[in-house]
């Protein structure tokens, strides 16, 4: 029998800050994701989520 503990589940990175309201263009006022992106977030790969967090969403915040 092994004393090795299983690795903890990796948390899903999310830009959500709890302000969940879409603007007239369809972007969330809190995280800048579209409704479709919010719905797909959990099924996106870690690489895809990281790309959104590092590139896509900051660009939308500036715009």
Q: Is residue 47 part of a domain?
A: yes
**H or E segment and range at residue 36:** helix 35-40
In the prediction, which pLDDT does 13 show? 84
In the prediction, which pLDDT does 9 show? 60
Model confidence pLDDT, tens digit, residues 3-62: 776 655 666 789 999 999 999 999 999 999 999 999 999 999 999 999 999 999 999 998
In the prediction, which pLDDT does 15 show? 96
* Residue 35 to residue 7: CA distance in whole angstroms: 32
- Closest C-alpha to 30, from 13, 41, 50, 15: 15
In the prediction, which pLDDT does 10 show? 66
Q: Is residue 57 part of a domain?
A: yes
Q: Give how many domains the chain has, as a whole number.
A: 1
Q: Is residue 29 part of a domain?
A: yes
Name residue 28's beta-bridge partners: 22
User: In which domain, by residue range, is 41 found?
Assistant: 14-63
Q: Is the dihedral of CA 33, 14, 36, 45 positive or negative?
A: positive
Q: Is residue 9 part of a domain?
A: no
In the prediction, which pLDDT does 6 show? 64
* Residue 11 to residue 41: CA distance in whole angstroms: 13
């Amino acid at each position: 029998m092994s004393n090795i503990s299983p690795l903890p589940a990796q948390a899903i990175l999310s830009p959500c800050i709890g302000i969940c309201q879409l603007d007239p263009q369809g972007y969330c006022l809190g995280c800048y994701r579209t409704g479709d992106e919010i719905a797909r977030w959990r099924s996106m790969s870690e690489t895809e989520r990281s790309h959104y967090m590092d590139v896509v969403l900051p660009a939308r915040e500036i715009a």
